Structure 1
């Protein structure tokens, strides 16, 4: 930035009092401004996810999810939401897109029975970019007996192709827990992918070809009771001999959390790996 003509002398600089678009600190300053404005209205910022804000007044509850300049508001009080949107519009220029139907690649369909979440458009775009729209569908995302190693098979000629594909599949696991385990296994070989790893990734695409619109259903009539299940695959990794933890958490009949992750230490017995898996899901429930 240059000072105006005739202003200042040699050695003087201009100090910015307002962050400008394009500066590396602009996004941080924007979120600081937005979050402080929301907190001033009685909202509490979540400690687990700093993009989530909640406010409870009597029987009225408002939940806000912020992604850069996209804001998603959920509430059981329509009047309170309208008042809050008018307040935000007075502070910032807003464009109200109405009832949520599409948000960051997630398609939302609401009925009297509940809410359906899927990524059908994202899945079809993924298949189209990979040239797999006309492929033969597969019944399963990965063979149960599949064991992958770091050094088995020829190296992939274009490693960026594999990394880009796995990255897009990781985002798809937001609504597809059925491919979470398969994508997790293949994401371990991002640094040096091999041909068997790429072939396994293509098989996941063939499985998605059969069920592109599959997703999650959050029931409106299920009980508000937490249920969790966990399991462990002892010494599943042939290179590190570490086990894999898998768990899922239900709120009533609705699946709300799941994970498939390699344990950080080597378990000396299957019982030890199961206990570590149980500890992980307990932390998630808490």
Structure 2
């Protein structure tokens, strides 16, 4: 059994419903809790269950970001970042509100827990949190336009997946202009369900593509 507590919200997870009921009774006797039933919404995560599996998304969280950044009426984009986009910290035209930029990508970083398709672009833009320039912010707006086009996209964990582990990785081959380091990414699947992913800059400079 797993128990997750965030302020006054409690999440219980187990494959034994009887044990969940016993723990809820114990907690209620100690603290007087309110049972909200099966999990549907928790910390920005929207959970839906069916016979075929469990789906996770952050639709409301996406719409809140678009509303707070005045992008509800923006034109949707088909992808979050141009494939040939190269950003640098040497751009002299600084963005006027760096705290806004940092706040935005703090929220988008949380978004990547259900949106692996955003992991690479968010990692790229997060490299410039110490020094934001106008070109960075302009390019970052495309990520929000992509959210406008795909607010319901998320993860699906099939109830009938095979227990076969598959992993994939890729690199942008020295994509960072400033450091000449590569950004690498990987995804891991259990059957058809994506269970792990990450995008990060390499600690060393690659001298070969092998």
Range class of TM-score, shorter chain = over 0.9
Measure the CA separation in 2 of the matches of 1:161 and 1:137: 22
Aligned residues: CA RMSD: 1.3
Contact 1:152 1:194 in 2 (8 A): yes
Q: For each residue in 1:19-75, what CA deviation from the matched residue of structure 2 results, as whole angstroms up to 9, or x when unmatched?
A: xxxxxxxxxxxxxxxxxxxxxxxxxxxxxxxxxxxxxxxxxxx23333344221122
Q: For each residue in 1:99-155, what CA deviation from the matched residue of structure 2 results, as whole angstroms up to 9, or x when unmatched?
A: 100000000111111111110001011001111111111111000000000012510
Unpaired runs of at least 5, structure 2: none
- Counterpart among 155, 160, 165 of residue 226 in structure 1: 165
Measure the CA separation in 1 of the matches of 2:9 and 2:205: 42
Match of 2:85 in 1: 146
Please say which of residues 73-82 and 135-144 is displaced more in the overlay.
Answer: 73-82
Measure the CA separation in 1 of the matches of 2:153 and 2:30: 40
- Counterpart among 186, 189, 192 of residue 125 in structure 2: 186
Q: TM-score, normalised by structure 1?
A: 0.71
Match of 1:4 in 2: none
Match of 2:41 in 1: 102
Measure the CA separation in 1 of the matches of 2:3 and 2:68: 33
Measure the CA separation in 1 of the matches of 2:109 and 2:45: 14
Give the superposition deviation at 1:91: 3.3
Contact 1:114 1:218 in 2 (8 A): yes
Measure the CA separation in 2 of the matches of 1:129 and 1:170: 16
Q: Compared with structure 1, are the counterparts of its residues 252 and 65 closer, same or farther at alpha carbon in structure 2 (3 Å cutoff)?
A: farther
Q: Compared with structure 1, are the counterparts of its residues 158 and 223 closer, same or farther at alpha carbon in structure 2 (3 Å cutoff)?
A: same
In the TM superposition, what are the counterparts of 1:128-207 in structure 2 within 5 Å? 128-207=67-146
Answer yes or no: is 1:250 the counterpart of 2:194. no
1:270 partner SS: coil
Q: TM-score, normalised by structure 2?
A: 0.95
1:80 partner SS: helix
Please say which of residues 72-81 and 159-168 is displaced more in the overlay.
Answer: 72-81
Equivalenced residue count is 210
Measure the CA separation in 2 of the matches of 1:104 and 1:212: 16
Answer yes or no: is 1:241 the counterpart of 2:180. yes
Answer yes or no: is 1:87 the counterpart of 2:30. no
Measure the CA separation in 2 of the matches of 1:270 and 1:91: 60
Unpaired runs of at least 5, structure 1: 1-61, 272-286
Measure the CA separation in 1 of the matches of 2:7 and 2:64: 24
